[in-house]
Amino acid sequence: MAWFWDAVARGGEGISAEELAAHVISGGWSPHVGLDSPALFAFSLRNGVFGGAALKEVARGADGLVRTSFQTPSGLRLEAHFVLDPDREHRITTVGLRLEGGASMTAITMAALRAAHYVADEPKILADSLAQSLSGEFAVGQIAQVQANRMALPGRIR
């Protein structure tokens, strides 16, 4: 996990395709960090929940998951769970998140998507200006993705 958190500290800068492949399996999945290419990886580290995050603790569970706790610049306390493939040199296969204390990830993810829709959609159908502040860095990442590609929102057909 040292490699991942070092990449977080660098904002994903300087990660080559070879380096990413040495630590993440091809086809690795996460809704919170782009694992498909160095550019997407760097973009998601700079603009999502990991941007500016401070690592607090790392622990390996009996189930093989590596759990890390961290805090975002706005003070949101999160846990990142890493699934490692023991048959592929313990490279990352999945990165998941949960809110410290077990608060609903669904609620915060939906608020982030609503914030991104609010930024992207014209004309405005629902003036939901609270969603961004409620979801903090989750919204920042979603909004950055939508600003880079308006079709990045789920369910977007035009």
109 and 76 both lie in a single domain: no
Q: Are residues 28 and 47 in the same domain?
A: yes
| pLDDT tens string 101-112 | 776 677 777 777
> Domain check: are 45 and 114 in the same one?
no
pLDDT value of position 95 = 92
| Domain shared by 95 and 135, yes or no | no
What pLDDT is recorded for position 151? 67
Q: What is the pLDDT of residue 73?
A: 87
In this structure, are 88 and 126 located in the same domain? Answer: no
Whether residues 14 and 28 fall in one domain: yes
- Taking the C-alpha atoms of residue 157 and residue 134, their distance in angstroms, rounded to an integer, is 26
- 48 compared with 25, residue with greater pLDDT: 25
Top pLDDT among 74 and 141 is at 74
10: containing domain: 2-99
Q: Identify the pLDDT of residue 157.
A: 47
Token pair belonging to 34:
């782009």
Other C-beta atoms within 10 Å of 144: how many? 19
Among 53-57, 79-83, 109-113, the least confident range: 109-113
Q: How confident is the model at residue 124 (pLDDT cuts 50, 70, 90)?
A: low
Q: Is residue 157 part of a domain?
A: no
The number of folded domains in the chain is 2
Q: Which residue has the higher pLDDT, 41 or 106?
A: 41
Judge whether residue 61 has pLDDT over 80.
yes
The domain that contains 72 carries what CATH number?
3.10.450.50
Whether the Cβ atoms of residue 91 and residue 83 lie closer than 8 Å to each other: no
pLDDT tier, 57 (very low <50, low <70, confident <90, very high otherwise):
very high
Which tokens sit at 108? 């915060």
| Strand, coil or helix: 26 | strand
Assess whether 143 and 70 both reside in one domain: no
